[in-house]
Amino acid sequence: MNRVTVRDDGVEVREPFLVRPFEAGVTAWIVVFGAIMAELIGGAVTYSKFIGAAVPVLVIPAVVAIGFGLAQWWLVWRAGADPVSWWHLGAIVGALIIWFMWPVAPGPLDGSTGSAQQLCNALPTDNTANCLSQAAPALSASRLSWWIALGLIVASGLLARRSRIAVWASLPIAFAGCQLSSHYLQALYLHFAAVP
């Protein structure tokens, strides 16, 4: 069924696809579920791969979900459609739980990510200078990706009234940020575990 809006001047205008409630809901489900599955599968496949392979695999699904969310927000705003229900903010709560509970440090490094020195003490290496030069950037990148994920989760919550895709995109954002954050530390651990 096509939804048609009649403007003040009597002209019938068909609502855009992402403005219609049913079509927007189905699109949101497909985009967000697809992004979550891509995040989980991509994270498992690239967990022990180099950073250059993991970053696009983990970032692209979240960017696609954010893109659909922003497109929907703009179309709904432009069409002046009814706002989305507040219950969609439950996605933000779910994303925050994932963001907070997801283990960022690999098992052997758990509890030793306070500083680069603590990280090097937990790694199987005697070359502290080499370790510190690699641990500091890995720890910084890990923290940066984790905090950027939080910022994007909060930002997607601000779009909740006009875009259900944007608010539900917070879930793949949380998975991407946490897995990417973990990947930097995992790559560091695997590097030093492989070095004799």
pLDDT tens digits, one per residue of 84-98: 777 888 999 999 999
pLDDT tens digits, one per residue of 19-58: 887 888 899 899 999 999 999 999 999 887 778 888 999 9
pTM recorded for the entire structure: 0.85
Would you say residue 9 has pLDDT above 70?
A: no
Q: Cα separation of 24 and 1, whole Å?
A: 13
Read off the amino acid at residue 171.
L
pLDDT tens digits, one per residue of 150-191: 999 999 988 888 888 999 999 999 999 999 999 998 888 888
For the chain, give every domain's residue range.
Answer: 4-194
> Please, are residues 185 and 139 in contact by the beta-carbon 8 Å criterion?
yes
Tokens at residue 160, please?
């909740």
Q: Cα separation of 191 and 189, whole Å?
A: 5
